[in-house]
Amino acid sequence: MAEDSIRKTTGRGRRFDSVLDTIGDTPVIRINNLGPNHVTLYVKAEFFNPGASVKDRLALNIIEAAERSGALKPGQTVVEATSGNTGIGLALVCAQKGYPLVITMAESFSVERRRLMRMLGAKVVLTPKADKAMGMYRKAQELAEKNGWFLAHQFETGANADIHETTTAREILADFEGERLDYVVSGYGTGGTVTGIARALRRERPETKIILSEPADAALIASGRAQKRNAEGEADESHPAFHPHPIQGWTPDFIPLVLQEAIDQGFYDELIPVEGPEAQKQARALAAKEGILTGVSGGATVAVALQVAETAEPGSVILAMLPDTGERYLSTPLFEAVGAEMNDEEKAISASTPGFQIG
């Protein structure tokens, strides 16, 4: 093979002072084998963050904003309610900065998340699945109030959407500078990603349509029913339109205050529901046909992007957000058809030559 045909790398041209400096600057990747030919589909792969999810960004900014304001004192314990990715992000940030961390999480979320957070030094307190996200949310509030811990407030803090406005959105704008970007597709957990991105795109790329999605089983926004809140803007009860859904990390049983800004300001052009099985199907397709391993939420955004592509004009460019990696779904239905032992086809391949066969 000619030397000039071999892929080469040159290094980043810098060294990093800590793992925290590697957060952000995630790649935009073209999808080549899925979707219609009349559009170009890209994904923004947030699993390239060190904690393998988009939530590393907000975790870092929540802690550093609290340090700057004095709300977080040296050595103070941090506590937060999370479905997992924010907890993993907070765990790596707190490990680097030396803060004890306690996570509250509903027992229904994947065990991989619990183990990752504990591996990173966090304590994980499980709450009953019957109490949904509101249960873990209120447990974190109770622990903060009783112990004087710093509550991260990912669902309400301005530090959440701010970091997406100043990093995620800036990266998208730079990567598509001078080129078409017709649609950006995102779901919501806290709402920080879509709110922060939309702030910047509405100012600087107003022609770009922002497509927001939520699970068909938990169509909170589509219901048109307002979220009840207390004086601090915190949700004080489950939203009546919520039903359990399989897209982990998306759509808790309340509308977060961070997302409310996007709703009130009209930061999305269309709201498209997505079914859980379709999200799982597209996550599997991304792995098998593109070599891109993402979670169910990533499969959901791609499913919606493909739906948008069906009626998009020729030449349209669509960007879908991929919030996390598929590896933290190994114990979930996403992987239920993927066995650990050889299937019949694999056994036949093994039997096609005489040696080194099992059994």
Give kind and range of the element (H or E) at residue 169: helix 169-175
Q: Residue 76 burial by CB count (10 A; 0-12/13-18/19+): exposed, middle or buried?
A: middle
Number of domains in the chain: 2
Dmax over Cα atoms in the chain, in whole Å?
A: 73
In degrees, to the nearest 5, what angle opens at C-alpha 50 toward C-alphas 46 and 51?
80
Residues 195 and 231 occupy one common structural domain = yes
Residues 44 and 59 occupy one common structural domain = no
Question: Which residues make beta-bridge pairs with 319?
Answer: 42, 184
Residues 257 and 137 occupy one common structural domain = no
Residues 326 and 257 occupy one common structural domain = yes
Residues 127 and 242 occupy one common structural domain = no
**Which residue range forms the structural domain that includes residue 62?**
55-151
Q: Which two tokens stand for residue 221?
A: 């926004």
Residues 273 and 195 occupy one common structural domain = yes
Residues 314 and 206 occupy one common structural domain = yes
The alpha carbon of residue 32 and the mean position of all alpha carbons in its chain are separated, in whole angstroms, by 22
Half-sphere exposure of 239 (CA within 13 A, CB side): 25
Residues 35 and 64 occupy one common structural domain = no
Task: Look at residue 353 and tell me if it is in a domain.
Answer: no
Last residue of a domain, one of 151, 185, 203: 151
Residues 171 and 282 occupy one common structural domain = yes
Structure confidence at residue 359 (pLDDT): 74
Task: Look at residue 280 and tell me if it is in a domain.
Answer: yes
> Which domain CATH number covers 137?
3.40.50.1100
Structure confidence at residue 223 (pLDDT): 98
Task: Look at residue 354 and tell me if it is in a domain.
Answer: no
Residues 229 and 126 occupy one common structural domain = no
Last residue of a domain, one of 121, 151, 181: 151
Q: Which two tokens stand for residue 1?
A: 């093979």
State the pTM of this model.
0.95
Residues 6+ apart with CB under 8 A from 149: 76, 77, 78, 79, 102, 143
Structure confidence at residue 5 (pLDDT): 83
Residues 97 and 123 occupy one common structural domain = yes
Structure confidence at residue 2 (pLDDT): 57
Last residue of a domain, one of 118, 151, 184: 151
Task: Look at residue 31 and tell me if it is in a domain.
Answer: yes
Q: Which two tokens stand for residue 67?
A: 């340090």
Q: Which amino acids are annotated catalytic?
A: 55, 297
Task: Look at residue 291 and tell me if it is in a domain.
Answer: yes
Residues 227 and 272 occupy one common structural domain = yes
pLDDT 10s digit of each residue in the chain, 359 long? 456 789 999 999 999 999 999 999 999 999 999 999 999 999 999 999 999 999 999 999 999 999 999 999 999 999 999 989 999 999 999 999 999 999 999 999 889 999 999 999 999 999 999 999 999 999 999 999 999 999 999 999 999 999 999 999 999 999 999 999 999 999 999 999 999 999 999 999 999 999 999 999 999 999 999 999 999 999 989 999 999 999 999 999 999 999 999 999 999 999 999 999 999 999 999 999 999 999 999 999 999 999 999 999 999 999 999 999 999 999 999 999 999 999 999 999 999 999 999 97
